[in-house]
Structure 1
Amino acid sequence: MKANEFDTKFDNGDDILGDLDLSKVKRPMQSQKRVNVDFPTWMLESLDREAHRVGVTRQSIIKVWLAERLESAAANHSIN
């Protein structure tokens, strides 16, 4: 498939996943390392409630919130 055909298909909202080779896809800067963190019970209960409300796992809400906080801190640091 030529690039302009692919672009047209994408722009039209057609499904392009079948046209991609995803076998070697990597997400840069996304390697993972397991860590253990102890949280107070009240914090876990609050995290679980919010995760349930949003419809994600506890781990997902923790990662999203940490990412938001780190991005905010980096943005504030670059401004100053």
Structure 2
Amino acid sequence: MSNEEFDRSFDAGDDISDLIDWSAAVRINDIERVALDLPAWRVRRLDQLATESATTREALIARWLAERLEGAA
């Protein structure tokens, strides 16, 4: 099965559990909370950019950090 066929099956809601090798699965969504203190004007700007991107402040920061970390490798 190609990646495209797998994606189509998943998107269609088909049961794909028998197509996955669960013994090789790695959990990548362990989340750890981080506190970040910022000046109020910066938070307002983040909120403005998040609204323009139709996302949340947290999602915007997470995306920016991921992009920066991937580029640092």
* TM-score, L = length of structure 2: 0.68
The higher radius of gyration belongs to 1
Q: Is the 8 A contact 1:48 1:58 kept in 2?
A: yes
- Give the % identical residues: 34
Q: Which runs of 5+ in 2 are unaligned?
A: none
2:16 to 5, 16, 20: 20
Other-structure match for 1:77: none
Other-structure match for 2:43: 44
May I ask how many residue pairs the two structures share in their alignment? Answer: 64
1:10 to 5, 9, 12: 5
Corresponding residue SS for 2:36? coil
Runs (4+) off by over 6 Å: none
Cα offset, 1:29, TM superposition: 2.7
* TM-score, L = length of structure 1: 0.63
Q: Which runs of 5+ in 1 are unaligned?
A: 75-80
Rounded to whole Å, the distance in 1 between the matches of 2:29 and 2:48 is 27
